[in-house]
Structure 1
Amino acid sequence: MKIVILEGSPNKRGSSNMLAERFAKGAKEAGNEVVIIDAAHCHINPCKGCIACGYDGPCVQKDDMEWIKKEILSADMLVFVTPLYYYGMSAQLKILIDRFCAFNGSIQRKHMKSALLAAAWNNDGWTFDALEEHYKTLVRYLNLQDMGIISGRGCGTLFMTQQSEFPEKAYELGRKLL
């Protein structure tokens, strides 16, 4: 299976990317092909809302979404990875997802698998609610099959992440995929 991991953290060595790294290790050990796309450091323009794409492409903008789209459409699974800064996914990941507009139909027809990996320093009971609901809406709208959510509560720093159970949970999620 080909898995495309969409990282949305501007901090290359941050907690959410650490979860992605552990997930990728498990997925590779299970025999999967893994491609990591660092959305936070790609050149991706926001969607203009012009709908020239007709929701199934091509997009009028010519940026890194051209090659990212090819990777996504050749995948069997998408993994959304984000730090939780302000009760939702990072702006960097959201810009990429907004550009799905130009190929929604193609994604929907693929019936891909998906997962969400997120990390935040806050450990209360509601911090991840909005992010998890947004992810579930994407799953429903894009006809994705949810394989799991790892909400790294209390993992807002690399040290906290290393001392928690969440990296192992991310590894195990990747490892169980065939």
Structure 2
Amino acid sequence: MKILVIEGSPHKHGSSNLLAERFIDGARDAGHVVTVFDAAHANLHPCLGCDACGMAGVCIQKDDMESLKDVIRHSDMIVFVTPLYYFGFSAQIKMVIDRFYSFNGELTSKGLKTALIAAAWDSNNETMEFLKNHYLKLCNYLNFKNQGMILGVGCGSPSMTERTKYPQKAYDFGKSLK
């Protein structure tokens, strides 16, 4: 399977990317091909809402979304990786999702497999509820096939994250994909 991991943390060596690395290790050990797109450090711009694309055309913005769209078109699965920012996706991941507008119908008809990997400082499981619901609603709207979620609570720093069960869960999740 061709898996695209979209990382949305401004901290290249932060907790969410640590979990992504473990997931990637597991997925590669299972024989999958993994591509990583660093949305936090890419040349991306927010959707302008101009509707020039008509939800099925070329976006007027010329940035890294053009190459990301090509990778998405050739992927079987997308994994969204985000730190929890104010109970939701990071702005960097949200910007990518908003830019799906220009090929909304194509995405819907593709029926991509997806997953969510997130890290939060707070150790309360309720912390992830809004993010989880947003992700599941996105899956429903775009006909994505949710394969699972790693919602790492108590993962405020990489050293904290390493002491939790989540790195192993992320590895096992990647390894288990069919």
Name the SS for the 2:171 alignment partner: helix
Residue matched to 1:136: 136
Deviations 1:47-91 (A, max 9, x none): 000111111121111100000000011100000000012110101
How many angstroms apart in 2 are the aligned matches of 1:56 and 1:32? 30
Deviations 1:119-143 (A, max 9, x none): 0110113111110011001110111
Residue matched to 2:163: 163
Shift of 1:177: 1.1
Q: Which runs of 5+ in 1 are unaligned?
A: none
Residue matched to 2:100: 100
Name the SS for the 1:80 alignment partner: strand
Q: TM-score scaled to structure 2, two decimals?
A: 0.98
How many angstroms apart in 1 are the aligned matches of 2:87 and 2:52? 31
Contact kept? 2:125, 2:153, Cα under 8 Å: no
| Percent of pairs with identical residues | 53
Residue matched to 2:123: 123
How many angstroms apart in 1 are the aligned matches of 2:161 and 2:57? 39
RMSD: 0.7
Paired letter, 2:7? E
Paired letter, 2:85? Y
How many angstroms apart in 1 are the aligned matches of 2:84 and 2:27? 23
Residue matched to 2:76: 76
How many angstroms apart in 2 are the aligned matches of 1:129 and 1:47? 26
How many angstroms apart in 2 are the aligned matches of 1:129 and 1:122? 12
Residue matched to 1:22: 22
How many angstroms apart in 1 are the aligned matches of 2:22 and 2:146? 19
Residue matched to 1:39: 39
Structure 1 residue runs of 4 or more that deviate by more than 2 Å after TM superposition? none
Residue matched to 2:11: 11
How many angstroms apart in 1 are the aligned matches of 2:50 and 2:5? 27
Residue matched to 1:111: 111
Name the SS for the 1:88 alignment partner: coil
How many angstroms apart in 2 are the aligned matches of 1:166 and 1:175? 14
Paired letter, 1:116? L
Residue matched to 2:58: 58
Name the SS for the 1:13 alignment partner: coil
Residue matched to 2:48: 48
